[in-house]
Structure 1
């Protein structure tokens, strides 16, 4: 069986790698050609383009890179046509993937979509393209099944959340060994997860680091994204109790007492590691104003969306300021709120299903295309 997989972000690289391992487990002769990252490359197959070449954030940046995006779309279509896969597997990344899906469907390729675009948050009109161009959709959030099937009469498969697999299958970390190997002190750790793209990292860290001097009994550790070089982070490393560790976010979370987290998949990862968190978001004024009018949700974090309640505090735009951040961080390290968050995290994990999302998806893909 030949698959062509398209993933355009770090989280997609992680889930794509685990899916590939499951595909190979079902059929060792499976061939995969893919757009992704280092984790997918380690799993096997042939890397076509790395996601680092594809990550454009915000309306302005997308417009500025339209020529590159157009070139990538053209190249992708040509590469698929040359490879002639038995099926194309799309992983999230909707701006690009839905365009390819439209072309692929018209050309007679089988189209499988793993990890739904968040059309329940914005651009719900994409449902017509999905119903037309996607043969099978595999969703990972429990409320997505009702959204598609009850609201839009489009059958989907809820496969569970692959993060549970990723976290359950990782090697255990010894806290003392980890701290010693990264020159950390014995103080409890507060993790800073500022995102993966330069614009958001700069905005988030500039505010996150303002609280450092108010928590002398803790050490702060910036989680470096694999998509960014160490040199980029050097600007933010002036304070004595701030450390930096690159590409070890899961290990860092496993030994952290609390975290300040930029909205995105990282909020769910932090919750699954049972780390109390404050969710942060601060964009450019123009992007925020546009987004506020397009996104119709009660919450921005996946934790709160899945639980349908404000389990973790969200500091958005103007609320994301030194005073509020200090108050909320204090609350999650030393108050009843910390206990309440732990209780909500256990409920969250049950809602997401058990382990086996990647294997379940791989089995369904083989079943649906043969």
Structure 2
């Protein structure tokens, strides 16, 4: 069969790649094209456009780039028409993918959604639109099944694909040596995100606190295909080590972490690394987001647990003094122990690996059935 998969960011690219591998295991004749990145490409997907081209963060950035987004949407629609897949599989990235879903619904392409848009966080009414447009939704958090049930929409809970990604990771025993990192000094990992705005606003704040912790070494999780000037804040500081494309190896060695809000907060927790979550946006983006948000937390760790497990420093609270204070509290002592205990509960809540395989099996099963 033919599959067209769309992932619009780094984490979606990773999870889409694992899904593609499982689809190929079930369907050895599978032809897979789509939009994504290096992980999907490595999994044998013919990537027609890289997710970096669509890395617009915040309401204002989207508005400024609407002509480009519309052009990308037309391009994607034409590629789907030309390929005529048996299934279009949308992975997270709600703003763009829901527009694709409208097109697919109108033109009769069978459409599946893996990793729900966070409608429970922003605009709960969009659940009705998803119910109308998406043939089958595969959700990755336990509370999402209950959320959609309130709208009369039955979805499949498949577990969390981060568990798959972590389970398949093989720790590089030479990581420290290869990156000239001192094995005798504890590491504080800095995960500043993958979007230009995140690196511009958050990396300088993270780097600024490094001199206050002389007994620790600060290591930034970089991404090699991003422009090098985005990492200027750390490249100009000889005390900061920058490593590329090795986030999981970094986390497997880290004592603590400063993490930009996003999927990385959950990954950090599942590696058992105490963390402080940080986030900043432009003034307009921040106030719009604050006005429409339907959740009490921004980090996935706290959202899944339904309470504060990790501290969140947002906007004006994200400053060197507050970062220093909260980071100091999780380096040792009771707060660190409580956080690690809560991480154990989080792992139990998310369940065992296998989300990619379960999702691929369900897609294959549904495709055998008459729509």
Question: What is the TM-score of this pair, normalised by structure 2?
Answer: 0.97
Aligned partner of 1:179 among 166, 176, 180: 176
Query: What's the CA shift for 1:226?
Result: 4.4
Is residue 2:251 matched to residue 1:253? yes
Question: Residues of 1 paired with 2:136 and 2:64: CA distance?
Answer: 33
CA contact (8 A) 2:60 2:284 kept: no
Question: Residues of 1 paired with 2:66 and 2:153: CA distance?
Answer: 32
Query: What's the CA shift for 1:72?
Result: 0.9
Question: Residues of 2 paired with 1:178 and 1:347: CA distance?
Answer: 29
Q: How does 1:280-299 map to 2 (within 5 A)?
A: 280-299=278-297
Partner of 1:35: 35
CA contact (8 A) 1:259 1:275 kept: yes
Query: What's the CA shift for 1:325?
Result: 0.7
Relative to 1, partners in 2 of residues 1:161 and 1:226: Cα closer, same or farther, differing over 3 Å? farther
CA contact (8 A) 2:5 2:34 kept: yes
Partner of 1:154: 153
Question: Residues of 2 paired with 1:129 and 1:225: CA distance?
Answer: 35
Q: How does 1:137-152 map to 2 (within 5 A)?
A: 137-149=137-149, 151-152=150-151
Q: 3-state DSSP class of the match of 1:124?
A: coil
Q: 3-state DSSP class of the match of 1:333?
A: coil
Q: Deviations over 1:180-235 (max 9, x none)?
A: 11011231110001111111111111211221111000000111134513333134
Partner of 1:62: 62
Is residue 2:195 matched to residue 1:224? no
Question: Residues of 2 paired with 1:334 and 1:37: CA distance?
Answer: 38
CA contact (8 A) 1:196 1:227 kept: no
Question: Residues of 2 paired with 1:67 and 1:306: CA distance?
Answer: 36
CA contact (8 A) 2:141 2:350 kept: yes
Q: How does 1:1-370 map to 2 (within 5 A)?
A: 1-149=1-149, 151-174=150-173, 177-186=174-183, 187-370=185-368
Question: Residues of 2 paired with 1:276 and 1:173: CA distance?
Answer: 21
Question: Residues of 2 paired with 1:66 and 1:332: CA distance?
Answer: 42
Question: Residues of 1 paired with 2:118 and 2:223: CA distance?
Answer: 23
Q: 3-state DSSP class of the match of 2:112?
A: strand
Q: 3-state DSSP class of the match of 1:81?
A: helix
CA contact (8 A) 1:165 1:357 kept: yes
Aligned length: 367
Q: 3-state DSSP class of the match of 1:233?
A: helix
Question: Residues of 2 paired with 1:226 and 1:307: CA distance?
Answer: 33
Question: What is the TM-score of this pair, normalised by structure 1?
Answer: 0.97
Q: 3-state DSSP class of the match of 2:214?
A: coil
Query: What's the CA shift for 1:353?
Result: 1.4
Q: Deviations over 1:288-309 (max 9, x none)?
A: 1111001121111110111111
CA contact (8 A) 1:102 1:129 kept: no
Q: Deviations over 1:59-113 (max 9, x none)?
A: 2211121111111111111111111111100001111111111111111111100
Question: Residues of 1 paired with 2:311 and 2:60: CA distance?
Answer: 29
The CA RMSD measured in Å over matched residues stands at: 1.1
Q: 3-state DSSP class of the match of 2:243?
A: strand
Structure 2, unaligned stretches of length 5 or more?
none
CA contact (8 A) 1:280 1:316 kept: yes
Relative to 1, partners in 2 of residues 1:242 and 1:60: Cα closer, same or farther, differing over 3 Å? same
CA contact (8 A) 1:195 1:225 kept: no
Query: What's the CA shift for 1:166?
Result: 0.5
